[in-house]
A = this chain, B = another copy of it.
Amino acid sequence: MSVNSIKPRKSSDRSKHELPSEKSDKPANEQIKKKQVGGVVRAIRLLDLLVSEGPLRFAEIEDRSGLPKATLHRMLNDLIDERFVIFDERALSYNAGYRILEMANRVWTRSDIRMLARDQLLALSALTGETVQIAVHADTHVVVIDHVESTQSVRLSISVGNKSPVYCSGTGKVMLAWCDAQRQESIISRISFARYTPNTVTSLPELHKDLALISKRGYALDLEESFIGTNSIAAPIVDHGGQAIAGISITAPTFRVGVDELVQWKESLIAAAAEVSRRLAPRAGGSMDSSIN
Q: Using Cβ atoms and an 8 Å threshold, which residues of chain B touch A96?
A: 103, 106-107, 110
Roughly how many angstroms separate A156 CA and B134 CA in the complex, as a whole number? 13
Question: What range describes how many residues of A lie at the interface?
Answer: 35 or more
A74-82, A194-202, A205-213, A262-270 - interface stretch = A74-82
Which stretch from A33-41, A219-227, A271-279 is at the chain B interface? A33-41
Nearest chain B residue, comparing its CB with the CB of A163? B102
Q: Which residues of B contact A11 (CB under 8 A)?
A: 74
Tell me which of A46-54, A56-64, A172-180, A251-259 binds B: A46-54
What is the CA–CA distance of A100 and B82 in the complex, to the nearest angstrom? 15
Q: Is A216 part of the contact surface with B, judged by Cβ < 8 Å?
A: no
A152 close to B155 (CB less than 8 A):
no
The answer to whether residues A148 and B138 also contact, given A48-B103, A80-B17 and a CB cut-off of 8 A, is: no
**A3 interfacial contact with B, CB 8 Å:** no
CA distance A74 to B38 in the complex (A): 10
A167 contacts partner chain B, Cβ-Cβ < 8 Å: no
Least Cβ distance of A79 to chain B in Å?
A: 7
A29, CB-defined interface residue at 8 Å? no
- Tell me the bound Cα distance from A90 to B47 in angstroms: 31
A187 within 8 Å of B (CB atoms): no
Known contacts A83-B21, A156-B108, A158-B108: A41-B78 contact under CB 8 Å: yes
Chain B residue with Cβ nearest A284: B90
Write out the residue numbers on chain B whose beta carbons fall within 8 Å of the beta carbon of A151. Answer: 152
A143 partner, pick from B43, B102, B157, beta carbons under 8 A = B102
How many Å lie between the Cα of A99 and that of B96 in the bound state?
Answer: 15
In the complex, whether A7 has a CB less than 8 A from a CB of chain B is: no
Complex formed: what's the CA distance from A21 to B240 in Å?
A: 40
Question: Among A11, A99, A109, A151, which residue has the most Cβ atoms of chain B within 10 A?
Answer: A99
Interface centre among A40, A99, A154, A163 (most CB of B within 10 A): A40
- A81 in complex: contacting residue of B17, B51, B81, B90, CB < 8 Å: B17
Between A and B, 24 residue pairs with Cβ closer than 8 Å are: A17-B77, A17-B80, A38-B39, A38-B74, A39-B39, A39-B40, A40-B40, A44-B82, A44-B84, A51-B110, A52-B106, A83-B138, A96-B103, A96-B106, A96-B107, A98-B143, A102-B138, A102-B161, A103-B161, A105-B161, A106-B161, A108-B156, A151-B152, A154-B157
